[in-house]
Amino acid sequence: MASQEIKLHAIVIPLMSQSHLIPMIDLSKLLAQRGLTVSIITTPLNALHYQPILKSPINSNLQIHLIPLHFPCNDVGLPQNCENLDSLPCPKLKTKFLQSSYLLQNPLEDYLVKVNPSPSFIISSLPWTHHVAQKFNIPRFAYQGVSCFTLFCSHKMMVHKVYESVKSDFEPFYVPEILDKVEFTYAQLPKMMKKNCSIDDCDGLKQIQDQFKEAESSAEGLLVNSFEELELDYVKSYKNVMRNVLCVGPLSISSKMKNEGNFEGHYCLKWLDLMKPKSVLYVCFGSLCHLMPKQLIELGMGLESSNCPFIWVIRDVDYNEDVMKWLKDENFESRVQGRGLIVKGWAPQVLILSHSATGGFLTHCGWNSTLEAICAGVPMITWPMFAEQFFNEKFIVQVLKIGVRIGVEVSMQWGEEKNDGVYVTRECVKNAIEKLMDGWEIGQERRRRAIEYGEKAKRAIEEGGSSYLNITSFIKHVQATNANK
């Protein structure tokens, strides 16, 4: 194999957030399976948390390592042991956390001077890694954890500024110069795109966003966690905007050694074994989305009234005294016993979605979760909250036609909740579930399309598939670059 002719050493530097760390670890495993040495740069607590994921590939003699670098939280005013976006105690610290990532630059440079074999290339979108790559004369490639649909739509919106002419937050407008007729409102846009953004540290976040864009455009290429068969027209279109775009996903299934292989005996999977095929709705909102107690209660009441079997994951940060009191006072878990299961904290999402009993996914539309549902062939109920999640909703419902909107119309962030944080009523929850799990013609067609995309996803990462060949091309490119050096 070409990658074995010249031994390559990849330096992978993820943003310290679960949504970046997990897919970039999966990408690292892929490269290690092709014969590369891979060093994943992170911090001590992140290394401790994610080390179990690498146990299986390391035991298989793959050359893949987590490299913990000291991260001085207290020096920049962050709480002690705050080494991941998911661990921030409040949203106001997000800007400070992102800005402080540059503190890893000097420790990284010290590591690069001494490491053997010497680094062949860097994969990172963190702005300061551009300077590291220049200093050491190492090719750098950016990683993008959103779809080409989102990237291209965002680009067209920014170029034409169509959202600046709308007269109200809820006046619809179309994304110009794209294949599909996709409609947005100003209220659905990410905070960073809004001209009147004046919330807390918005200016600082905009500056950081610009730095990330600059780092991406200055990279030698862009690795995207998607696959061509999912969005070929948008991949082609974005290639006219950004050079050397390569789809290398879906990363959640591209590694033969699953992240969650040690959790096959999890109690929720045993519960699913007792349920009928395609009958259960899985409900989970990712690692960064936050729901207020009243909204969680509305969701719970909607799940109960739907009479649909469900697994509902409530994050530790949301499982507070108000929610515990409601569950106890209403005797909720007893009322839904045998039909509903509440998981407090974490659940093995990939394994749940791929279980034969799972028939739908109520999701916040984060791209990792969206891809995991697509890979499993599971249709979705879309409940976007912030960032690019409304873009993903449009892609799921309007382009792929494998989802049902729950009806939320306003982009929100943790700490910005209005009306006690209630955006979706129990009636909307019930109606969306009934629509998604419907066994009639429209529901069957939606499910058929979801299964078809799942099959395409698996073929993309198999030997000879589009993403497999893109990774081969990428390895040959960096190998030629290093040979010329």
Q: What is the pLDDT of residues 319-344, one digit of tens each?
A: 889 999 999 999 999 999 999 999 99
- % of the chain surpassing 90 pLDDT: 75
- Mean pLDDT confidence for 310-326: 90
Query: If pLDDT is split at 50, 70 and 90, which confidence band does 265 have?
Result: confident
Q: Examine residue 178 and state whether it is found in any structural domain, yes or no.
A: no
- The CATH number covering residue 55 comes to 3.40.50.2000
Expressed as residue numbers, the domain containing 406 is 263-457
The total of structural domains in the chain comes to: 2
In angstroms, the CA 81 to CA 45 distance is 7
Tens digit of each residue's pLDDT (9 = 90 or more) over 188-212: 998 878 766 544 455 577 788 889 9
Of 168, 224, 194, the residue nearest 390 (C-alpha): 194
Quick one: pLDDT at residue 5?
59
Let me know whether 285 and 390 are in one domain: yes
Quick one: pLDDT at residue 452?
98
Quick one: pLDDT at residue 251?
96
Quick one: pLDDT at residue 449?
98
Pick 245 or 195 by higher pLDDT. Answer: 245
Let me know whether 240 and 320 are in one domain: no
Let me know whether 340 and 476 are in one domain: no
Let me know whether 217 and 317 are in one domain: no
Q: Examine residue 368 and state whether it is found in any structural domain, yes or no.
A: yes
Give the pair of three-digit tokens for residue 241.
């905007």
Quick one: pLDDT at residue 422?
87
- % of the chain surpassing 70 pLDDT: 93
Tens digit of each residue's pLDDT (9 = 90 or more) over 393-452: 999 999 999 999 999 999 876 656 666 678 999 999 999 999 999 888 999 999 999 999
Let me know whether 360 and 289 are in one domain: yes
What is the rounded average pLDDT for all residues in the chain? Answer: 91
Q: Examine residue 143 and state whether it is found in any structural domain, yes or no.
A: yes
Question: How far are the Cα atoms of 8, 98, 164, 480 from residue 477, in angstroms, in the given order?
Answer: 11, 31, 41, 5
Which of 3-12, 297-306, 414-423 is predicted with the least confidence, judged by mean pLDDT?
414-423
Pick 139 or 263 by higher pLDDT. Answer: 139
Let me know whether 103 and 214 are in one domain: yes
Query: If pLDDT is split at 50, 70 and 90, which confidence band does 99 have?
Result: confident
Q: Examine residue 198 and state whether it is found in any structural domain, yes or no.
A: no
In angstroms, the CA 470 to CA 223 distance is 9
Quick one: pLDDT at residue 289?
83
Question: Contact 254/30 with Cβ under 8 angstroms?
Answer: yes
Is the pLDDT at 70 greater than 70? The verdict is yes
- Mean pLDDT confidence for 20-44: 96
Q: Examine residue 320 and state whether it is found in any structural domain, yes or no.
A: yes
Let me know whether 447 and 465 are in one domain: no
Quick one: pLDDT at residue 195?
67
Tens digit of each residue's pLDDT (9 = 90 or more) over 133-172: 999 999 999 999 999 999 999 999 999 999 988 999 999 9
Let me know whether 278 and 254 are in one domain: no
Quick one: pLDDT at residue 305?
97
Quick one: pLDDT at residue 316?
83
Let me know whether 360 and 324 are in one domain: yes
Let me know whether 446 and 464 are in one domain: no
Long-range contacts of 398-402 (CB under 8 A, 24+ apart): 398/180, 398/181, 398/182, 399/149, 399/180, 399/182, 399/231, 400/230, 400/374, 400/449, 400/453, 401/445, 401/446, 401/449, 402/374, 402/446, 402/449, 402/450, 402/453
Q: Examine residue 305 and state whether it is found in any structural domain, yes or no.
A: yes
